[in-house]
Amino acid sequence: MFRYLTFFILCLSILSCAVSPTGQKQLLLFSGDQMSQMGITAYSQMKEQQKVVSNKRTLEYVRCVTNRLLQHLPSELKGQTWEVNVFQDDSPNAFALPGGKIGVHTGMLDTANSPAMLAAVIGHEIGHVWANHGNARMSQTALAQQGLQLVSIIAGEPTPEKQMALGALGLATKGVVLKYSRKHEKEADSLGVRLMAQAGFDPSEAVTLWQKMAQMSEGSMPEFLSTHPSEEARIKKITSQLKNVLPMYQQAISSGRAPLCRR
């Protein structure tokens, strides 16, 4: 039974293996056009269901920060048209979707209350799109579902032993997906910090941001049950990266590329 499952997974992996911007191997089963269309559709629905902020000053501020970051993306992403909006929502959140769509909640503007901290947030979300994390997560889920269906077919008539085996496989599969998602979050942090440094935003403020987020999330679920790394782990990882990105920030400032984004 498991021989067929292994062969199925191996075939898909060979056909769809890709490498992320930081050199991580990942499985991508969907085309770029498919992902873009899904992102555009989801974004349109959000704009219909949530209030979009129309304050010109707020929009100009968020778009100023975003545009500075976008200048340092690869040409295929930098060259596309990006739509940036602010949504009236008290939760400290932001997102970026394939197809060039970015949204920031008003609650995040209250938390990330400096241009550099906002750059850390938006840079992180852009990092997810840059590294095709949405595609990878959807591919991982699709592969897991197909694998379970294949095992169910091969297993034939249900018996207590077979049901137990299927249950164990399902639990293990969920564990892989959760771990994979945390890996994406860490990679998006790394890409976001690099982007903000290249754009002239002080990358050390990413640490300040996550320290604030840690204070806000006291009592949240442990890291091993979450799709996000704990704030403590995140802060430690970003701090270790500062020595590599601070020269990029200093070069941007010395070259006169200090961003002039004011709220």
- Residues with a catalytic annotation lie at 125
Sign of CA dihedral 65, 76, 43, 238: negative
Contact in structure between 201 and 119 (CB atoms under 8 Å): yes
Rounded to 10 degrees, the C-alpha dihedral 188/190/192/194 comes to -150
Helix (H, G, I), strand (E, B) or coil at 228: coil
Q: Which letter does DSSP use for residue 114 in this model?
A: S
Q: Which letter does DSSP use for residue 52 in this model?
A: B
Burial class for 208, CB neighbours closer than 10 Å (0-12, 13-18, 19+): middle
Strand bridging mode 101-105 / 83-87: parallel
H or E stretch including 190? Answer: helix 160-198
